[in-house]
Amino acid sequence: MVHPLLKIASPKQPALTPAMDDKPQDRNLRDGEPRQLDAELLLRETFAQDPRKGLELLFRKYHAPLCSHAVRFVYSRQIAEDLVSEVFYQFYRTQAYQNINTSYLSYLFRSVRNEAFTYLRREFGRTAPLDLSSENQPDVKQQAPDAEIQYNHLFMKVNEAIAQLPAQCQRVFLMSRFENRKYHEIAEELRISPKTVEAHMAKALRHLREVLRGEWLLLLLILIQ
């Protein structure tokens, strides 16, 4: 395995050259996959003519899958949707659509995964000793190739951690976090006291924090610029 820091030494991830661009397409044809770059041709043309219309098409196509993906990291539909909307907003505001050299799909998934990671680190990573040095979020373009793997590990870890929770505790956690419901509503529905709800939540969050603590050290090594 190449040491991650060595990879980071290169200032910018090389842009997809036309030659490399062709490669995935060829493979697509072989696998009978839809050719994404071609499928996005209409999007590109729309963006060139009317960015607002382009944004709408892009949003309709990718919003739901992106939210579904983000929620695997943050386990809250509210937060997931906020993160995804933020990515679309920045994509539009900074006119990133004019100068990206990947497909829109790849850009959006990479950004959402990155945002979700940053969010989780803010929420659950405060206690990690190395955190101080990396408050600035890593630029999407400069991330190391290992980052995608680490993102995968992260959301799988979160999944595992939540699956490990005792049944009632998990239920409370999902109602509060995923569905964004108030403690007293949960207490009423499950017929437990609000204090118990609080205790379940504290337990779930503590567990998540503990499980993720190890992850941050790995991730930070990779993502420090």
Partner 1 sequence: MESSIQKHILFEYLAGRATPLEKQAVEEWLKQEENTEQFHRWVFEWELQQPQYVPDSEAAFAALLQRIDEQDEVVGSSVPGGLPMARRLPHLNWRIAASVTILLCLAGWLLRKPLLYKAFNTDYGQTSAFVLEDGSHVTLNANSTLWVPRFGFRGAVREVLLEGEAEFSVRHTRDHRRFVVRTPKQFQVEVLGTEFTVYARPRGTRVALTKGRIRLDYQQGTQQKQLLMKPGELATMNQQGTLSIQKTDKPELQAAWKEQRFVFNNTSIQEICALLEENFGLQVRVDDAEIANRTITGNFKAQTADDLLDVLQVVLDLKIRKEKNALFLYNSDSSYNSL
* Interacting residues toward partner 1 by CB under 8 A: 2, 13-14, 16, 20, 23-24, 27, 31, 33, 36, 55-56, 59-60, 62-69, 71-72, 77, 80-81, 84-86, 88-89, 92-93, 102-103, 105-106, 109-110, 136-137, 145-146, 148-149, 152, 156, 159-160, 178
- Give me the least distance between CB of 199 and partner 1, in Å please: 25
CB closer to partner 1, 33 vs 193 = 33
- Give me the least distance between CB of 131 and partner 1, in Å please: 16
- Give me the least distance between CB of 118 and partner 1, in Å please: 11
CB closer to partner 1, 17 vs 167 = 17
Task: Give 48's contacts (C-beta < 8 A, 6+ positions apart).
Answer: 54
- Give me the least distance between CB of 22 and partner 1, in Å please: 10
Q: What is each CA distance from 28 to 18, 36, 202, in whole angstroms?
A: 16, 9, 47
Q: What is each CA distance from 38 to 28, 61, 96, in whole angstroms?
A: 11, 15, 19
Distance CA 89, CA 92 (A): 5
CB closer to partner 1, 122 vs 193 = 122
Three-class DSSP category at 145:
coil
- Give me the least distance between CB of 134 and partner 1, in Å please: 13
What DSSP letter does each residue of 86-127 carry, written as one string? HHHHHHHHTTGGGS-SS-HHHHHHHHHHHHHHHHHHHHH-TT
CB closer to partner 1, 141 vs 196 = 141
Let me know: does 200 contact 168? Beta carbons within 8 Å.
Answer: yes
CB closer to partner 1, 123 vs 196 = 123
